[in-house]
Structure 1
Amino acid sequence: MLWMVWDAFQATPMMADAVPRMALSAAPSGASPADVSRRFAENLPPRIQQAVAGWNQLISANFAGDQACAECHEKEYEAHLRSGHSRTLTRIDESSLANKLAETRHYQDPRRDQVFEFSQTAGSLWVRDAANASGVVVPVTWLLGSGTHAQTPIAIDESTQSGVELRWSYFANRDQLGLTPDHERFDEFAVGTIECFGRPMDAADMRACLGCHSTLTPPPSLPLINSLVVANVGCERCHGPRKKHVELAHLGHAEEAKPMLRYETAETYMDACSTCHRDESSVKPDATPNELVRFQPYGIKRSRCYLESPDKMTCSTCHDPHDTVSHNRAVSIDQCKQCHGDASSSECSHQPTGDCIDCHMPAVEWTSGIAFHDHWIRIPDAFSSDDSAADLTASDSPHNNGGK
């Protein structure tokens, strides 16, 4: 079974924890990112090369790819292409942003006396800071994010298995660069180090970032090589490897290949979404309301709608899991009325015919003009600027005995 084989790759990490920081590169060598990855893989110890080859064979034998799903599931496939999940991770050489930045040529950091310079060569985008790291460049590797709201670049140095989350991000609402969220705490930096360019990342950091933005990344027992990453959150991220299913479908026996990942209860469904969208198990105790609004499962699990409707309410109650987020407010309100319908005790006493979403799930700004709807569904007078992950619990909800 695939997961048994998979476990064999999860054993001892290939790299020690004390991996050196990402090196500051010399001038561009003319090699493309693909060439760099290939050369790195070719120079690995034979034992590691053999393990990488085995991993590639495992993936090839079990994963079909999104396009294979389209043959029978055309509607879901087309919906997925509209969703942010289909473009959560973009190689910089495949991004239109690279050309745009190369034409812009520079960016002034709003909080540092620092100018980043951009250039493009060998299919890659290179970033310089001539004043603080003279003579060196950093090649951008990936853009994280669908671009609906923002995209944040990271650079991965395969040779050291470390990297950097770059100091600047692209914000769609302004169509321009701005400070990468949460980088206010990195205003101070050591000149001549990778800190000039942003937040240093070790192997665990990089795997965490790529893990939520991809269908598949190599396990810790293998080096993090860009070519081994299956970009974007595709069909098989949520449905599991389906190559056997595709092969049997061509023979008319698709049902014989049962999904390895099942969502038979609301809890298992929510757990799957929470892996990346987060719940209480991965939210900092001191998180503020504007941070919490990003973590929709965290809010839903504190809502009376969820707590008092076991095995009924999940993310897909309101959202098509394959499609982009709907902005049809009438449809969303109708979803509320499925439970809060005709009974007078279920009607809103404040605005019986009003907008459920605006009142009970208000939009909260996260950062840089980007807002998300608060998914902790509760009555308006319960919202407080002092709310935090530490003091907002299910028992504090106004819909429970301990509430206001």
Structure 2
Amino acid sequence: MGPASAWWSVTVGMLLQAVTGPAGQTWSPERFWQQRSGYAGSESCRGCHSGIYEKQEASSHARTLRPLSEVAEFKTGLPFELLDRVGNAGLRLSLDPSGSVLLSSVRGGEETSVSLRWAFGAGAKAVTPVTVNDRGDYVESRVSWFRGTGAFDLTPGARERVPGSFAETLGQVLSHEDRKKCFGCHTSRPMADDPVPARNEMGIRCERCHGPGLEHVRAASADSRRSSIFHPRDLTGFRMAQVCGACHGRPPREIDFDEIRQIQERPLAARFPSQRLVLSRCFNETDGGLKCTVCHDPHDDVASSPEALDTPCRTCHSPGRNSAAICPKASSNCSRCHMPKARVLHHTEFADHWIRAKP
């Protein structure tokens, strides 16, 4: 059996174990966070978990959706003008007298504009506005702000999408399904059919990962521990990848060889870390012990220093360990070579979570 066949055998074996429960039933993470009632709100967690609450509240997860008026880096660069050659229109971002961000489009003698309402993205990579136009359509702005350049440019995908009408030079009209997906990954509660999130539901907060907490809060208030709450830390590595993958690229829950091959080969694959992680030999040969939370504190921003990222690697790849090879090239900054950053969208890079000796 060659190296590729051996890897494939290990990967498929792990997938078979991971996607089925004790009775052979496919496991689904939705049962933990798609309930529509029983929520207490993240503020109610603060009394008992103040340290975690404060850290999480300041994290990128909590800022994945905000009113655009709160995003300083977006407003600082205004006014801004851009010639959209694909849409054959001049685009302009400015502040109106009320302080709201206004997106205008000019083509010939025509002009149209819309007030931008929400900011999607914490700003670690980009911020894309979404709003509702005067017809009630949800619209994704054709202009976004990018951390990589500290400037505005066309939103990813806009260069490949010719507006179907002059009104659409402001942005893409989102379908009912698309807007539910967008808000679904940027809010803490399941969205109604016509999502207009309340401020305290914006962003990823406590109950998105722990599930509805009202019973838990009531039990804690009564000094009772009988009502528990879901802890993702107790999940296996593959099941945690499925929970995180609800927004970060869910691994296949069935043995679908075509889908596994696409996860390996598709051009934008590095954008979805949960899918890529389960391809890694490190993940499979530790029986899924290399969970998302081994490297990432879910209550904090992603660690960025080489020292912090090297620590999990050294758990196995260190002298005296007999389970993993020692890198002959370097003893630090492991991710630079084994998780190289890939430019999958303009101005934006993602670390490839398919950990390999030679990517």
1:395 matched to which residue of 2?
A: none
Closer, same or farther in 2 for the Cα pair 1:84/1:110, shift >3 Å?
Answer: farther
2:338 matched to which residue of 1?
A: 360
For the pair 1:172 / 2:143, whether they are aligned, the reply is no
**Hey, what's the Cα distance between the residues in 1 that align with 2:279 and 2:288?**
15
**Hey, what's the Cα distance between the residues in 1 that align with 2:200 and 2:173?**
20
For the pair 1:190 / 2:164, whether they are aligned, the reply is yes
The one-letter amino acid of 2:300's match is D
The one-letter amino acid of 2:350's match is F
**2:180 pairs with one of 194, 197, 207:** 207
Q: Deviations over 1:339-370 (max 9, x none)?
A: 22323672335325243222211122233332
**Hey, what's the Cα distance between the residues in 1 that align with 2:153 and 2:221?**
49
**Hey, what's the Cα distance between the residues in 2 that align with 1:79 and 1:228?**
19
**Contact map agreement 2:241 2:275 (CA 8 A) in 1:** no
1:370 matched to which residue of 2?
A: 348
Offset of 1:248 from its aligned partner? Answer: 2.4
The one-letter amino acid of 1:364's match is A
CA RMSD of aligned residues (A): 3.0
Q: Deviations over 1:184-235 (max 9, x none)?
A: 211x33343x321222211111111111011124333xx3334488200001
Closer, same or farther in 2 for the Cα pair 1:239/1:131, shift >3 Å?
Answer: same
The one-letter amino acid of 1:165's match is E
For the pair 1:89 / 2:65, whether they are aligned, the reply is yes
What's the secondary structure of 2:106's corresponding residue? coil
Closer, same or farther in 2 for the Cα pair 1:158/1:79, shift >3 Å?
Answer: farther
Offset of 1:171 from its aligned partner? Answer: 1.0
Closer, same or farther in 2 for the Cα pair 1:216/1:229, shift >3 Å?
Answer: farther
What's the secondary structure of 1:136's corresponding residue? strand
Closer, same or farther in 2 for the Cα pair 1:97/1:352, shift >3 Å?
Answer: closer
**Hey, what's the Cα distance between the residues in 2 that align with 1:268 and 1:286?**
17
**1:269 pairs with one of 234, 237, 240:** 240
**Contact map agreement 2:245 2:251 (CA 8 A) in 1:** no
What's the secondary structure of 2:153's corresponding residue? strand
**1:256 pairs with one of 226, 234, 247:** 226
Offset of 1:129 from its aligned partner? Answer: 1.2
**1:63 pairs with one of 39, 42, 45:** 39
1:124 matched to which residue of 2?
A: 100
**Contact map agreement 2:143 2:152 (CA 8 A) in 1:** yes
**Contact map agreement 2:278 2:284 (CA 8 A) in 1:** yes
Aligned length: 319
**Hey, what's the Cα distance between the residues in 2 that align with 1:305 and 1:232?**
31
Q: Deviations over 1:146-168 (max 9, x none)?
A: 011110111224864x3221111
Where in structure 1 are there 5+ consecutive unaligned residues? Answer: 10-57, 384-404
2:280 matched to which residue of 1?
A: 303
For the pair 1:317 / 2:294, whether they are aligned, the reply is yes
For the pair 1:104 / 2:79, whether they are aligned, the reply is yes
**Hey, what's the Cα distance between the residues in 1 that align with 2:173 and 2:135?**
15
What's the secondary structure of 1:86's corresponding residue? helix
Q: Deviations over 1:308-339 (max 9, x none)?
A: 22242210011111111112312322211212
Closer, same or farther in 2 for the Cα pair 1:349/1:107, shift >3 Å?
Answer: closer
Identical pairs, percent:
25
Closer, same or farther in 2 for the Cα pair 1:327/1:286, shift >3 Å?
Answer: closer
1:75 matched to which residue of 2?
A: 51
What's the secondary structure of 1:293's corresponding residue? helix
What's the secondary structure of 1:138's corresponding residue? strand
2:201 matched to which residue of 1?
A: 230
**Hey, what's the Cα distance between the residues in 1 that align with 2:97 and 2:53?**
34
Closer, same or farther in 2 for the Cα pair 1:130/1:274, shift >3 Å?
Answer: same
What's the secondary structure of 1:151's corresponding residue? strand
**Hey, what's the Cα distance between the residues in 1 that align with 2:113 and 2:83?**
17
**Hey, what's the Cα distance between the residues in 2 that align with 1:256 and 1:354?**
46
1:292 matched to which residue of 2?
A: 269
**Hey, what's the Cα distance between the residues in 2 that align with 1:122 and 1:287?**
48
**Hey, what's the Cα distance between the residues in 2 that align with 1:114 and 1:261?**
50
Closer, same or farther in 2 for the Cα pair 1:349/1:96, shift >3 Å?
Answer: closer
